[in-house]
Amino acid sequence: MALLVVGSVALDTVSTPRGQLAEGLGGSAVYFSIASSLFTPVHLVGVVGKDFPEEHISTLETRGVDVEGLYIAEGKTFRWHGRYDEDFGDPETISTELNVFADFSPKLPPKYRDLPFVFLGNIHPKLQLKVLEQMKSPKLVAADTMNFWIERERNTLLQVLEQIDMLIINELEVRLLTGVRSVLAGAEKIHTMGPATIVVKQGAYGAFAMSDGEIFTIPAFPTTAVMDPTGAGDSFAGGMVGYIARQGNITPHTLKMGIVYGSLVASFNVEGFSIKSLEKLDMETLNRRLEKFRKMTEF
């Protein structure tokens, strides 16, 4: 079933111990879209400036992403410049230029409003609410957020949580949102805020999920070929939600398999700068890694 994603589209400049890339294609909506396009048709809503390279739009379209909702505004595209140290942990942000993204106000094309699956990237909670106001009756709404919104826009974010089915965040964000250190206790507390399913990204340690009282956890796929971790969380979310949308519903089994596929897609994402590894990924290659992962985790 078709999937809507609303989020940032950016030009990223990234430095890591393995090299650097200037103004590569990035943004939460981009990583999510390319990852989820492996599984299901994707419709993207975002904004770029007049300087956004046409080749990047072609890249999205080649992956089957519908870009009718990608608006081209007067001005410059959102830019982020970051640097990773030797442990590839959280990057140091050198500069952030919001440019046209500062005035982003998502307006959905009419054909997008009936889409059954929705992913809200980590944009301002008031914009997430604006998207939900335009949707008719989606089967599943998943959302991401970040520490900035948790700390600065908590009340608006709580309104979002009341209206979504799944929240995808990391461990730090769980602690900021709930005030408790335990991931399990934090997930239980978030559940009382609205979402039936909470998925916690744990980086190199894997992922944890709680849904209707059931718990599922997996390790990350081990790789020594890390080039650039940018977008790993968004590609994880794209693989997971894309798989669930392909199945047409969320059940304990589809959630588990979605998390597995999301983790594997993210493992490919980190093996190249920007979306270079993701854009070459196909289901045959992904399923070969799935079989390796299955052998690693069976006992």
The domain in which residue 136 lies consists of 3-297
Q: Report pTM.
A: 0.97
Tell me how far apart the alpha carbons of residues 248 and 124 are, in angstroms, rounded to a whole number. Answer: 28
| pLDDT the model gives residue 146 | 96
Q: Does 259 score more than 90 pLDDT? A: yes
Do residues 161 and 137 lie in contact, with contact meaning Cβ atoms separated by under 8 Å?
no
* Cβ neighbour number for residue 70 with a 10 Å cutoff: 21
| pLDDT the model gives residue 175 | 97
Do residues 117 and 4 lie in contact, with contact meaning Cβ atoms separated by under 8 Å?
yes
* Total domains present in the chain: 1
Q: What is the pLDDT of residues 140-169, one digit of tens each?
A: 999 999 999 999 999 999 999 999 999 999
Q: Which amino acid appears at position 230 of this protein?
A: T
CATH code assigned at 214: 3.40.1190.20
Q: Does 89 score more than 90 pLDDT? A: no
Do residues 147 and 173 lie in contact, with contact meaning Cβ atoms separated by under 8 Å?
yes
- Over range 257-265, report the average pLDDT: 98
Q: What is the pLDDT of residues 201-225, one digit of tens each?
A: 999 899 999 998 899 999 999 999 9
Could you tell me whether strands 117-120 and 79-83 are parallel, antiparallel, or unpaired per DSSP bridges?
unpaired
Closest CA to 207 of 257, 279, 162: 257
| pLDDT the model gives residue 212 | 85
- Long-range pairs for 184-190 at CB < 8 Å and ≥24 separation? 184/208, 184/210, 184/215, 190/161
Tell me how far apart the alpha carbons of residues 250 and 49 are, in angstroms, rounded to a whole number. Answer: 36
Residue 299's pLDDT band (boundaries 50, 70, 90)? Answer: confident
Q: What is the pLDDT of residues 17-63, one digit of tens each?
A: 999 999 999 999 999 999 999 999 999 999 999 999 999 999 999 99
The secondary structure of the chain, three-state, reads CCEEEECCCEEEEEEECCEEEEEEEECHHHHHHHHHCCCCCEEEEEEEECCCCHHHHHHHHHCCEEEEEEEEECCCCCEEEEECCCCCCCCEEEEEECHHHHHCCCCCCHHHCCCCEEEECCCCHHHHHHHHHHCCCCCEEEEECCHHHHHHCHHHHHHHHCCCCEEEEEHHHHHHHHCCCCHHHHHHHHHCCCCCEEEEECHHHCEEEEECCEEEEECCCCCCCCCCCCCHHHHHHHHHHHHHHHHCCCCHHHHHHHHHHHHHHHHHHCCCCCCCCHHHCCHHHHHHHHHHHHHHHCC
Q: Does 90 score more than 90 pLDDT? A: no
Q: What is the mean pLDDT of the chain?
A: 97
Do residues 187 and 208 lie in contact, with contact meaning Cβ atoms separated by under 8 Å?
yes
| pLDDT the model gives residue 213 | 84
Residue appearing with tokens 């965040």 = 169
Tell me how far apart the alpha carbons of residues 174 and 1 are, in angstroms, rounded to a whole number. Answer: 30
Closest CA to 198 of 213, 185, 211: 211
